[in-house]
């Protein structure tokens, strides 16, 4: 417990130190706010513009969560199908890799052509960008089930469905939550990409307008909002992971304690 508290204090000290160094460096070298605004200027902009920024933050958060939910749902289904069959894994995985390699900004114009500008392209972009990590981790988690254990369960008359529900899925949970923490940050990336291309609302659109007006502190304020939302969701999923997959981290805690 003391080691964990020390790590948290060290992490907080590092964050504070980075911002202090940033502030002092800008003052010492006379860096203009057009090039790199000081953290104090960014925070002041956040406070002054918060009534106008809040609707954009809510829109981005809503779009991201909807797209994230759709992407995770699709990723879990595909991951279960691929991870449950070696043949499906070998056949479908190259296609998934190819699909994941496509720059997501390239598909935004297609979504705009199909659905028009607005929330729908942002939701779809957010969804497709977070599918691949979930699929890979779910398939990998299911593949870690020992063949010997499956053989033992089959001798006990367990069906393939029973093995999947009672052994495969629990074994895949640590991988699944690891993918969620990656996917939620990617989901924000997809949302902001779409908002900068095909939306008149959201933090991405606000940052685009601010940059065109050379309002750099406001651009960095948008980055701070995105970072704050991403960290908050990451922490939430970490807490849920600790509750659901505590058994997987128990050995590590014993070793460190």
In this predicted model, what pLDDT tens digit does every residue of 66-78 receive, in sequence order?
A: 999 999 999 998 8
Question: What digits encode the pLDDT tens for the residues 20-36?
Answer: 999 999 999 988 888 89
**130 pLDDT higher than 60:** yes
pLDDT of residue 137: 86
pLDDT of residue 148: 65
pTM assigned to the model:
0.83
Sign of the CA dihedral with 226 first, then 228, 231, and 233 last: negative
């Amino acid at each position: 417990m003391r080691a964990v508290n020390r790590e948290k204090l060290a992490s907080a000290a590092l964050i504070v130190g980075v911002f202090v160094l940033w502030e002092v460096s800008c003052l010492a070298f006379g860096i203009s706010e057009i090039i790199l605004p000081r953290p104090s200027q960014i925070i002041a902009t956040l406070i002054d513009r918060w009534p106008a920024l809040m609707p954009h933050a809510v829109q981005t958060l809503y779009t991201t969560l909807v797209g994230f939910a759709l992407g995770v749902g699709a990723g879990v289904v595909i991951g279960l199908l691929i991870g449950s069959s070696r043949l499906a894994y070998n056949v479908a995985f190259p296609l998934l890799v190819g699909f994941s390699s496509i720059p997501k900004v390239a598909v935004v114009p297609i979504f705009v052509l199909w659905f028009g500008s607005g929330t729908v392209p942002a939701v779809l972009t957010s969804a497709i960008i977070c599918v691949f990590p979930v699929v890979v981790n779910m398939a990998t988690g299911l593949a870690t089930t020992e063949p010997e254990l499956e053989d033992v369960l089959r001798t006990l008359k367990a069906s393939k469905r029973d093995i999947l529900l009672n052994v495969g899925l629990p074994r895949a949970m640590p991988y699944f939550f690891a993918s969620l923490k990656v996917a939620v940050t990617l989901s924000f990336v997809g949302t902001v990409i779409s908002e900068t291309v095909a939306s008149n609302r959201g933090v991405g659109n606000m940052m685009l307008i601010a940059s065109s007006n050379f309002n750099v502190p406001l651009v960095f304020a948008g980055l701070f909002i995105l970072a704050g939302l991403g960290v908050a969701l990451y922490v939430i999923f970490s807490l849920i992971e600790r509750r659901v997959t505590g058994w997987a981290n128990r050995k590590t805690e014993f070793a460190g304690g």
